[in-house]
């Protein structure tokens, strides 16, 4: 399994698509894993393994069937009628995903800098527009330059925290949360987490692997391995320090402050970059999809998406994470089911040969 320059670029884009406001803030991991206690740690490990498997099989299918976008994959596997419905669900998710990232930016500016949330939203939108008008290369190189910094700082905060745990580590089990649509079963919660994140993952992996002829399965697997490491480390750190960070919309930011004040300042910047990478992935994927249908300039489509996202981005960040992501996790299980089935099918063929 070769991991060349293009594969590393794709791996970085895959990681950047998943590490967004919800992940880097810690809010996602608290709602989907930490609240289940020790069982949530098993859920995090399962999610990481699935990211590796699904990343690799997505690129394998792109090469085998010569796919150019996620709609081609759906057409082959579920037919045109179901594809039309699923396509609308994915486009809606990408739009709301952009809104969630913008909401996270607003919350960050408010909690970190003490500014009005709308200031953070507008600044983030302007940066998104600036980078995305550079096209595919601009999108790839933004991830190549920023994702390594995200990985290093997120792992640093998590590992340093785990190296100096509190005197007493929480031992209680699952905590029921009536304000979220996340399942109260740790296994289903882990599957939901992977399902909605793989919407972004599949959109980006299919678009980039279809465009880059020298890409291979290694890019998806490498990106999945990085996600496995990050999900496990951050979940463990938040589990150990959950009493400290409970009640904050951005728990990882306060965990960074507990570790080191300078690291707290750096993490604030890194968190914003994480929001930009996923907002960029969502907007890029939606723009590419709409451009194929509407035949309008990407410049115009991007402006429409970012303007329409503003009202939704004004909603509470934690509420959006607890409502939007679980809902689309249920709806996206059909996409993950296709990938798992196809992966197992191809694996059986390989071993029979």
pLDDT tens, 295-350? Answer: 788 888 988 999 999 888 887 766 776 677 677 777 777 777 777 777 677 666 65
Whether pTM exceeds 0.85: no
Neighbour count for residue 303 (Cβ, 10 Å): 13
pLDDT in tens, 44-71: 999 999 999 999 988 888 888 887 777 8
Torsion 17-22-28-30 (CA) sign: positive
Residue with tokens 């709301």: 96
- The per-residue pLDDT for 175 is 46
Per-residue confidence band for 181, with pLDDT thresholds at 50, 70 and 90: low
Residue 108 CA: distances (Å) to CA of 103, 248, 249, 253, 278: 9, 11, 9, 9, 15
How many residues are listed for the chain in this entry? 353
Return all residues near 245 (Cβ < 8 A) that are at least 6 apart: 26, 30, 238, 251, 252, 254, 255
Percent of the chain with pLDDT over 70: 88
Number of H helices, E strands in the chain: 15, 0
Quote the pLDDT of residue 178. Answer: 46
Closest CA to 26 of 171, 154, 114, 162: 154
pLDDT of residue 74: 78
Predicted confidence (pLDDT) at residue 244 exceeds the cutoff of 90? no
Q: pLDDT tens for residues 150-170?
A: 899 999 999 988 887 776 655
Asked if 143 and 9 count as a contact pair (C-beta separation under 8 A), the reply is yes
pLDDT of residue 233: 95
pLDDT for 171: 52
Under the banding of pLDDT at 50, 70 and 90, the label for residue 215 is: confident
Nearest Cα to Cα of residue 54 among 351, 335, 331: 335
| Six token digits for residue 103 | 């909401």
Please give the pLDDT value at position 351: 47
| Domains of the chain from N-terminus onward | 5-352 (1.20.1740.10)
- Whether residue 25 has pLDDT greater than 90: no
Mean pLDDT of the chain: 82
Q: How many C-alpha atoms does 96 have within 13 Å on its Cβ side?
A: 22
- Max mean pLDDT among 107-116, 146-155, 270-279 falls in 146-155
Cβ-Cβ contacts under 8 Å for 89 (sequence gap 6 or more): 328, 331, 332
Question: Which residue, chain included where needed, has tokens 């995305």?
Answer: 132
CA distances from 152 to 64, 211, 314, 335 (A): 34, 29, 30, 31
What pLDDT is recorded for position 336?
78
Bigger pLDDT: 254 or 12? 12
pLDDT recorded at residue 51: 95
């Amino acid at each position: 399994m070769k991991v060349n320059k293009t594969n590393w670029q794709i791996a970085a884009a895959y990681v950047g698509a998943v590490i967004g406001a919800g992940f880097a803030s810690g809010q996602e991991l608290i709602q989907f894993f930490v609240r289940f206690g020790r069982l949530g740690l098993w859920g995090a490990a399962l999610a990481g393994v699935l990211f590796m498997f699904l990343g690799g099989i997505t690129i394998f299918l792109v090469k085998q069937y010569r796919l150019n976008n996620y709609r081609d994959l759906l057409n082959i596997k579920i037919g045109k009628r179901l594809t039309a419905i699923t396509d609308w669900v994915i486009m809606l998710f990408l739009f709301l995903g952009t809104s969630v990232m913008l909401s996270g930016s607003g919350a960050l500016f408010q909690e970190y800098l003490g500014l009005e949330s709308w200031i953070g939203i507008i600044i983030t939108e302007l940066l998104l527009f600036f980078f995305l008008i550079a096209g595919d290369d601009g999108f790839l190189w933004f991830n190549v330059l920023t994702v390594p910094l995200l990985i290093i700082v997120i792992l640093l905060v998590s590992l340093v925290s785990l190296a100096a745990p509190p005197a007493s580590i929480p031992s209680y089990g699952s905590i029921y949360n009536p304000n979220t649509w996340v399942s109260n079963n740790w296994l289903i919660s882990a599957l939901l987490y992977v399902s909605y994140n793989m919407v972004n993952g599949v959109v980006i992996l299919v678009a980039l692997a279809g465009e880059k002829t020298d890409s291979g399965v290694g890019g998806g697997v490498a990106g999945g391995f990085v996600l496995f490491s990050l999900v496990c480390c951050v979940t463990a750190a938040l589990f150990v320090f959950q009493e400290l960070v409970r009640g904050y919309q951005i728990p990882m930011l306060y965990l960074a402050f507990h570790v080191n004040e300078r690291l707290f300042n750096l993490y604030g910047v890194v968190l914003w970059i994480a929001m930009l990478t996923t907002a960029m992935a969502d907007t890029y994927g939606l723009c590419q999809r709409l451009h194929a249908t509407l035949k309008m300039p990407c410049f115009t489509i991007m402006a429409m998406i970012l303007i329409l996202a503003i009202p939704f981005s004004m909603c509470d960040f934690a509420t959006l994470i607890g409502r939007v992501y679980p809902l689309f996790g249920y709806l996206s299980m059909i996409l993950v089911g296709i990938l798992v089935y196809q992966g197992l099918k191809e694996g059986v063929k390989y071993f029979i040969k």
